[in-house]
Structure 1
Amino acid sequence: MNIEKLTISKRSTYTVLAITCIVLLTPFTAMFFTQEVNWGVLDFAVAGGLLFFFGYVHQVLTAGSKSLAMHILISGVVFALLLLVWSQLI
């Protein structure tokens, strides 16, 4: 296995990081409007780590994919794995 194929560009890494931060703004903003969302620093750290990890894995796996069908399949599998891990944390 070629290790260079397991990396993505800095721009893609920053894109994954930006999307992770934007997604984490949802519970952060909700904490100001309702008492039902009560996240601590550890909650944000775990959620951010999971989102970044699975986003990075998605970018690595789809980087070489030229087929739209393969891209959709990889996206679905990565999203299903994210939901599986997330559901075990609750």
Structure 2
Amino acid sequence: MIIQNKRLTGIVLAVVFILLIPLIAMQFTEEVNWNLFDFVVAGVLLLGIALLCELVIRKVKNRDYRIGVIAVILLALFLIWAELAVGIFGTPFAGS
């Protein structure tokens, strides 16, 4: 139980540190211009993906399947992130 809590704490801290990157960058440049909604969406997306990967690690016993499922999850993360950032698919959620 303690190890699971440490891993969950590590996941949450990793998400916070990742979100600190644009927050700090906003202090030094006008190029990064995030609002509260951007941070919330990024936080939910990163935390959801991290927790989903954690679930796969716990539930999928076959190493090859585990790697494959996590690779698909991470690919989905990168595609969603790119769509929200620059709109590679042209959906209404596109960033630019």
TM-score (norm. length: structure 1): 0.76
Aligned residues: 82
Between the aligned residues of both structures, percent identity stands at 30
Whichever residue aligns with residue 76 of structure 2, its letter is L
Pairing partner for 1:86 from 60, 65, 81: 81
Pairwise CA distance, 1:86: 1.6
- 5 Å-filtered alignment, 1:27-38, equals 27-38=22-33
CA contact (8 A) 1:16 1:52 kept: yes
Give the structure 2 partner of residue 5 of structure 1: none
- Cα deviation digits, residues 5-53 of structure 1 (max 9, x gap): xxxx333222211110010011011101110001111110110000000
Deviates more, 1:79-88 or 1:37-46: 79-88
RMSD: 1.8
Higher relative contact order, chain-length normalized (CA < 8 Å, sep 6+): 1
Unaligned runs of 5+ in 2: 85-94
Structure-2-length-normalised TM-score: 0.72
Q: Which runs of 5+ in 1 are unaligned?
A: 1-8
